[in-house]
Every structure is written in structure tokens, then in C-alpha cells.
Chains A and B, each alone.
Chain A
Amino acid sequence: DVKVTQSSRYLVKRTGEKVFLECVQDMDHENMFWYRQDPGLGLRLIYFSYDVKMKEKGDIPEGYSVSREKKERFSLILESASTNQTSMYLCASRLAGTGAYGYTFGSGTRLTVV
């Protein structure tokens, strides 16, 4: 069964910590995405990557960075965690050129910054 795996379901971090959220997909997908989901705001795109070593800013990149050193892995980095980054983080992947079929999402990481 193909899947997108996010390494942690729940995380609690302190303000100012550097936080790494990991996402791995086993579908050989070129495109990968990081979203955050907040009540009343839906899913907002943080960063995405069309292929290895590539990255593009989404709608809300401030306070985040990403790394895509291997095709299967896309990491989201919170450089210095703040309480307003408490959220549900969702990773997704997609085969390039198949926008018609949407994304496959991971189960999400619920991050709490205290």
C-alpha cells in the first residue's frame, strides 16, 4: 500500500527550539508539499518542491525552511519555534504532471509550541 509517512503524530516543543518535521513517501513522486491546517483557515501551503534539490515558497513561508536532498524525503524546519506555529502540519506528494489526481497526504503532525 503506497503511503506518505510523517515521522511524528504529536510533538511538543519549547519556544525558540529548532524543529524538524520529516515526511517520507514511497511512491516515487516528484512533487512534495507542506501544509498547515488551522481552524477557520483551512489548509495553507508553506513550501513545496517539484523535484530533488528544488523548493518553492508557498503562501506562508515565514519562519519555515525546507530540505529535499532525496526524492522520497521532504523536511520542514522551524528555525525558531514560536507559539503561533502551533498547528496541524500535513505533508503531501504527487506524481509530476498528474495534477488531475490531487495529492496523497500523510496522517499529519500535531505540533504544540509552549
Chain B
Amino acid sequence: DQQVKQNSPSLSVQEGRISILNCDYTNSMFDYFLWYKKYPAEGPTFLISISSIKDKNEDGRFTVFLNKSAKHLSLHIVPSQPGDSAVYFCAASVTGNQFYFGTGTSLTVIP
């Protein structure tokens, strides 16, 4: 059973606009959350993380929001750039244990 879900398989956004990628999870014990970015024929690369003691973490154009009561996190990219076009995976874990990954959202940023 999928513990981490990304319900949007794809998303298209105009360059310069905001991209919002969503992720839901079912296990209330998860206390660490990550976003990875993956280009074709490459391994995923770490993008940004957030722990359950926070509700927001920002790194440049990337911000992750966590809503623990809703078991929901989102990744905001502002402004979106064509180089951001990739597949984005969210992942969650109970600290020290394995990460569970979502199914991925393919983002296309249109120039």
C-alpha cells in the first residue's frame, strides 16, 4: 500500500510562474520529508528537506511546506525556469529508517 502519494503525474507551467507540486502521506509517524529531482537517465538528486518540527523550509527558489494535520506537503518553485523541467519525487521516513517515495510528478516549464 502506497504510504506516500503524488496524485498529479504531470504539471505544465509557464516560465517565470510558480510551480506547486503536492504530496500526501498516510503514516503519522513520518518525521522527515525530502524532495528529489530526477532528469532522464540520471539518478535522483536531493533538492530540499523538512523535518516535522517545522512547517516551512526555504532554499532559494524552492520552498517546502508541511501540514502535519493534513499529512500533506508541497514544493513551491518560484520563479520556474526551463531547467526545472524534471520528475520530482517526494519521500518520507521515520528518522533512521528507509525512505518511502511517491510516484513522481513530471514538471514541464514552458519557455
Contacts and interface: CB of A to CB of B under 8 A. Distances in A.
A107 B42 contact: yes
Contacts of B43: 4, 90, 92, 105-108
Contacts of B45: 105
A40 B89 contact: no
B97 A99 contact: yes
Interface of A: 4, 9, 33, 35, 40-45, 48, 58, 90, 92, 97, 99-108, 110
A105 B44 contact: yes
Interface of B: 6, 9, 32, 34, 36, 41-46, 49, 51, 89, 91, 93-104
A110 B41 contact: yes
Contacts of B42: 107-108
A43 B95 contact: no
B98 A100 contact: no
B104 A42 contact: yes
A101 B41 contact: no
Given A41-B103, A42-B102, A58-B98, A102 B36 contact: yes
Contacts of A101: 46, 49
A18 to B, nearest CB: 25
